Amino acid sequence: MFDQEGTSGAPAADTSGALPSRELAEVPAVEVITRAAVMLMSAAAEKLGLADDDPAHSPHRDLDEARRLITALAGLVTASTQYLGLHAGAVRDGLQALQRAFREESVYPDEPGAGPGEQYTGPVQ
């Protein structure tokens, strides 16, 4: 039977790599949280220019966007640490590495405790 838009109602093929919602229900929460953290880390690294040989001249460099992504990652990590189990240390280390990289790449570094996400994690050493 067709719906009002004239389609069969069958799920469309997903080419984004995301799991269809009925399969997503079977994925453990820790995996969903970890995938979200990895995506935030990867995007922040790109916005810091870390994927390029010379981060300061990367065409993808955008410290304002990197700050937002790192802050979102810090909130996620802080809120979900108890659920991450074995992954907690690695995710926290990745966050701290991004926070340090942000500080190094900033022309005018934030005061300790005022960097991206530090309101959730405390100052980064």
pLDDT for res 108: 85
Chain segment 6-62, per-residue pLDDT in tens: 444 544 555 566 666 668 889 999 999 999 999 999 999 999 999 999 988 999 999
- Domain boundaries along the sequence of the chain: 26-121
Burial (CB count <10 Å: 0-12, 13-18, 19+), residue 63: middle
Contact in structure between 108 and 54 (CB atoms under 8 Å): no
CA atoms within 13 A on the CB side of 6: 0
pTM for the structure as a whole: 0.79
Residue type, 72: A
Residue 59 neighbours by CB under 8 Å, 6+ apart: 52
Residue 65 neighbours by CB under 8 Å, 6+ apart: 47
